[in-house]
Structure 1
Amino acid sequence: MSHSRSTHHTEHTITVTAPARRVFDLIVDVGRWPETFPPTVHVEYIERSTTEERIRIWATANGEVKTWTSRRELDHDRLRVSFQQEVSQPPVAAMGGEWIVEAIDDNRSRVRLLHDFRAVNDDTGGVEWIERAIDRNSTAELDALRTAVERTEDVVGLLLTFQDTVKTPGGLKDAYAFINEADLWPERLPHVASTVLEENVPGVQTLEMETQSPDGSTHTTRSVRVCFPDEQIVYKQLRTPALMTAHIGRWLFEEDADGTRITSVHTVVLNEEALPAVLGPDATIADARAFLRNALSHNSTTTMEHAAAQAQVDRS
């Protein structure tokens, strides 16, 4: 097996109107990445301390879903976060880099995102693929970072998280299977008109779904789903309806003496600019929150109730 020798370096930079410490804090807080950064689908901590951590990341790169484990070192004094992928996915042989936040003044910062990488077998096509992915993702991440840190505190209402739970005497595995088998939803769920489910890598799904609203109109969504058998399914919409800039969610499954609890959690970032077009000229953020809470709760609760009923049938 030949090892690649050429290390390639890239740098992307952006200036943001926010204090350096606030920018650094968001880079550190990977739990907020899926709602902040378009490419990031899901992040899990494997180990963490105040200065070092290992995280597993699922993210899109040039339209494909990739997953890797990174080791990160957090320098809270110098406002730097260095990262190194432990096991990379082809065509990447090795990947590392650093986030560097520099204060320009009290309210402006420069963010530098550095990458160094090697391609499998120094393959020219691989190098070009990686450079394209880094360029696209770094530009998207820095733009999204700027949007997130420049949001003033008074529009904190743009972030909405809520959950609903349905209980069933049925089994956990059957409930999980119902949510996992989204290719069968058009036959099983009243609000789903059609689905296209792809699962090229076990546990990583791409789901395109046509949903019917109560008024008869349909809309199409495309999501990436990461499945942890019999525990949870995490998803992120790649294309969101106009009223949201981000929508991530999870289905959780827990078993107790009485049966199974299925919980649906939604996290949404509202698109304030779309309010007048979608909900009317006088619509407020509160109206949008209520509208989305109602619409999303309705669909996910319907899905969970059908999963609960199916689990009960399968168990009896």
Structure 2
Amino acid sequence: MADSSTARRVRAPRGVAPAPDHSPAGRAQWDSCIALRFPQWTAEDLRMRRVTVSDEHTISADLDSVYDCFWNAECWPRITPHVRKIEMIEADTRHQRMLMTVEAHDRLYTVESMRETLPKHTITYRQTRPPVFLTEHTGEWHLDEVQSGVRVRLMHHAVIDVQRAMETLGLESEEEAVETVRRTLKTNGERTIVAVKRHLESQAGHVAGQH
């Protein structure tokens, strides 16, 4: 556990919805925060704009190595196809605030994220400066040891700014905007997991080949 004298808990800027705890009660509280921020939205507006996507892979590597790759995001530009730059603004053993530049739709987007961890178990994040087509974006990584390695589960929870998505991505309908952003979240999350999987499993294969 981080020394209380040095650990710094990063707080969300004013106006940013708190990260949900992802239980049904937590999700309901998060929805309430979004509704207060956007009182002009009906329940149907929120239902259409809110998306949750998930992905899951098993990585044949030890838990320490898997956790290190997901928590120490500064290695991502070297091993992933879409993360171009990571700038760590502040960090300790439990909390991080960072800038991440990613490629999507043949463009570069820079987002600011805050992350918290229960080491070797969960990493949760919320973007305090999401890409222009998202109003909110939070999520979590879950790591579970299994017989064949470590099962990694990723969940994204986002609220889409449909009009901005249509304008930015050159789309003609709200439905197309929602589906495009949903697909982007799914694709980039999977790219990260698969890149870490290939990186660690290739390292394991290289070490095994030396014996």
Question: What SS is found at the alignment partner of 1:230?
Answer: coil
Q: Which residue of 1 aligns with 2:18?
A: 40
- Does the 8 A contact of 1:42 with 1:234 survive in 2? no
Q: Deviations over 1:240-299 (max 9, x none)?
A: 122111000111111112221111100011113324312446322x21221112111211
Q: How does 1:84-233 map to 2 (within 5 A)?
A: 145-147=35-37, 151-155=41-45, 156-213=47-104, 215=106, 217-233=107-123
Which stretch shifts more, 274-283 or 263-272? 274-283
Unpaired runs of at least 5, structure 2: 1-11, 27-31
The percentage of counterpart residues that share the same residue type is 22
| Higher relative contact order structure (alpha carbons within 8 Å, sequence separation ≥ 6) | 2
Alpha-carbon distance in 2 for matches of 1:39, 1:308 = 32
Alpha-carbon distance in 1 for matches of 2:66, 2:178 = 29
Question: What SS is found at the alignment partner of 1:190?
Answer: coil
Question: What SS is found at the alignment partner of 1:41?
Answer: coil
Summarize the Cα distance change of 1:313–1:229 in structure 2 as closer, same or farther, 3 Å threshold: farther
Which structure shows the bigger proportion of residues in strand conformation?
1
- Does the 8 A contact of 2:79 with 2:196 survive in 1? no
Q: Which residue of 1 aligns with 2:159?
A: 269
Larger Rg: 1
Alpha-carbon distance in 1 for matches of 2:79, 2:105 = 17
Instruction: Tell me which amino acid in the other structure corresponds to 1:202.
Output: T
Summarize the Cα distance change of 1:277–1:240 in structure 2 as closer, same or farther, 3 Å threshold: same
Alpha-carbon distance in 1 for matches of 2:68, 2:125 = 16
Alpha-carbon distance in 1 for matches of 2:197, 2:165 = 35
Summarize the Cα distance change of 1:298–1:143 in structure 2 as closer, same or farther, 3 Å threshold: closer
Instruction: Tell me which amino acid in the other structure corresponds to 1:180.
Output: W
Which structure shows the bigger proportion of residues in helix conformation?
2
Question: Number of aligned pairs?
Answer: 185
Deviation at residue 301 of structure 1 after TM alignment: 0.8
Alpha-carbon distance in 1 for matches of 2:184, 2:167 = 17
Summarize the Cα distance change of 1:255–1:280 in structure 2 as closer, same or farther, 3 Å threshold: same
Q: Which residue of 1 aligns with 2:178?
A: 289
Instruction: Tell me which amino acid in the other structure corresponds to 1:183.
Output: E
Deviation at residue 147 of structure 1 after TM alignment: 3.5
Deviation at residue 143 of structure 1 after TM alignment: 8.4
- Does the 8 A contact of 1:226 with 1:235 survive in 2? yes
Alpha-carbon distance in 2 for matches of 1:164, 1:202 = 26
- Does the 8 A contact of 1:253 with 1:260 survive in 2? yes
Q: How does 1:275-314 map to 2 (within 5 A)?
A: 275-280=165-170, 282-284=172-174, 286-314=175-203
